[in-house]
Chain A
């Protein structure tokens, strides 16, 4: 007899695919495909930005880390909330206005136009960074898929990763921005429910936060003080870099930033931000509390990435377990499809069409895009190892993308003096530092923090050594930043008329 959890899981997946297909038929032009026609409603943008941000990491990786570390995990939550707030309140409106003025459809389009990069260096380096680091992050998602499937459905790890890969592949092929945004709204609601229901029931049984942490400490020795066992300045700074420092990745995530660019009117981002911030606060705290509650019910377990499915099987009715597991897969799918939408478009347009075949037909571009999707997913499956931890692997990819784009995005929106060479230097130094750091395996200090600093310094120093940007670029910057009364009109690029196959 098929378990009720399997039935609810399959029903949920079916609903998601139907919504995706509905969204797909609303897609006609490339601008529709990549940016939802720049006409998305504020509530869709608010929820889909958060859903595309949070992944298996929220439901599997973060609870596992909270379970292992105890109270110090709260610093991670603070880092995420501050990073998300920075994106909504500091970047989103400017990015929407400026990218609309330039008629940019993707983040790489925007950066290229912003500094007039007629050599294609930004798109070339950026596309390489997207493919490498999104593959790494996706490997983390598939590790989660393998471990969760093993705990709930009894599949071996490799079969579980293939199930995850298959779901993501089909889901993304249905894709396009409208499909992704519509399904992300549903996914965001299910994810939030998943990370609220379980800790709520758990802590009702435990009684208080203190009692939960005490039970966790008894079970596995997790810390009950804010800095755990860290002592000495270097240790505390290293610890904070790996927790608060996660927030530094937010300004540089193209799959999140593109959501802000898709809204119908930049003034509506005020509404989206309220929705997005309330969502992220409850989701992140729910996730951390989930990990803290687990000690009282599960004791000390070795495979910490299985905390969420094991706890839900212990505390919830079978049918609801299926919904929560669907929530974890929802996180994986909603994030992966957003990343792949960005990365495969980058490969097809920025690498293939620009450097291989300038006259490539739409059909060829579509084939290249889908080929890139299969290659990235295959690489991620190959990298997914049962000994890996969802939290660490996804953060590796997060850091690489954050360092490649974050400082440059901030400079592009806030510094008129930014030049083309400065932009090149920032991207290459940011990406190179993370790659170097990962190769050296300096795990006591999160790679994103030094990479972000080095990239920022490179942007400033090289831009100042370079000639000032041309007059028209500086005038354009002033115009985009103008808040004196006249509204900025959206521009258009030739790409908006490209038909989607």
Chain B
């Protein structure tokens, strides 16, 4: 018995995609507005 191409895509696709997304979010997309969000008055706890 061997897994079909569809089986392999469903099996390995989601974890690969989500980890790539998590890395991308950490390195790029999640940084939105951070530079412009330096405190202008006071600071957050």
Contacts and interface: CB of A to CB of B under 8 A. Distances in A.
Nearest to B16: A281
In terms of DSSP, what is the predominant structure of the interface of chain A?
Answer: helix
A270 B18 contact: no
A277 B18 contact: yes
Nearest to A270: B30
A278 B26 CA distance: 12
B6 A483 contact: no
Interface in B1-45: 1-3, 6-7, 10-11, 14-15, 18-19, 21-23, 25-26, 30-34, 36-37, 39-40, 42-45
Given A226-B6, A489-B42, A209 B22 contact: no
A271 B18 contact: no
Interface string A51-87: 0000000000000000000010010011001100100
Contacts of A100: 44-45
Contacts of B23: 274
Contacts of B21: 85
Contacts, number: 81
A246 to B, nearest CB: 14
Given A273-B22, A489-B42, A489-B44, A226 B7 contact: yes
Contacts of B11: 71, 74, 209
A74 B1 contact: no
Contacts of A77: 14
A270 B25 contact: yes
Interface stretch (A210-218, A424-432, A442-450): A210-218
Contacts of A78: 10, 14
A39 B45 contact: yes
Nearest to B24: A274
Contact of B19 (A82, A271, A281, A483): A281
Given A217-B1, A273-B30, A486 B44 contact: no
A490 B45 contact: yes
Nearest to A488: B44
Contacts of A214: 1
B28 to A, nearest CB: 10
Given A209-B11, A226-B7, A487-B37, A274 B26 contact: yes
Interface of B: 1-3, 6-7, 10-11, 14-15, 18-19, 21-23, 25-26, 30-34, 36-37, 39-40, 42-45
